[in-house]
Amino acid sequence: RVAYVNGQYVPHSQACVHIEDRGYQFADGVYEVCEIWNGNIVDERRHLDRLERSLRELSMDAPMGRAALCMIMREVIRRNLVRNGLVYLQVTRGVAKRDHYFPPRDTPPALVITARSTDPRAADKAAEAGCAVITVPENRWERVDIKSIGLLPNVLAKQKAKEQGAKEAWFVDAQGNVTEGGSTNAWIVTKDGTLVTRPAESGILRGITRQVVIELAAREGISFEERPFTVEEAKSAREAFITAASTIVMPVVRIDEAVVANGHPGAISRALREKFHEVSE
Binding footprint of ligand PDD on the chain (CB under 6 A):
33, 180, 183-185, 205, 207-210, 243-246
- Residue 38, SS3 per DSSP: coil
147 is known as an active-site residue: yes
**What is the closest distance, in whole angstroms, from the C-beta atom of residue 244 to ligand PDD in the complex?**
4
Question: Given the complex with ligand PDD, which of 6 and 247 has the nearer CB atom?
Answer: 247
SS3 content of the chain, % helix, strand, coil (to 5): 30, 30, 40
**What is the closest distance, in whole angstroms, from the C-beta atom of residue 140 to ligand PDD in the complex?**
8
Pick from 124, 136, 227: nearest CA to 182 = 136
Question: Given the complex with ligand PDD, which of 135 and 243 has the nearer CB atom?
Answer: 243
CB 63 within 8 A of CB 107: no
**What is the closest distance, in whole angstroms, from the C-beta atom of residue 164 to ligand PDD in the complex?**
19
**What is the closest distance, in whole angstroms, from the C-beta atom of residue 84 to ligand PDD in the complex?**
15
Euclidean distance between CA atoms 139 and 172, whole angstroms = 9
Question: Given the complex with ligand PDD, which of 6 and 184 has the nearer CB atom?
Answer: 184
Q: Which of 97, 125, 147, 275 is catalytic?
A: 147
Question: Given the complex with ligand PDD, which of 243 and 269 has the nearer CB atom?
Answer: 243
Report the sign of the C-alpha dihedral through residues 155, 14, 66, 248, in that order. negative
- Residue 180, SS3 per DSSP: strand
Catalytic amino acids?
147
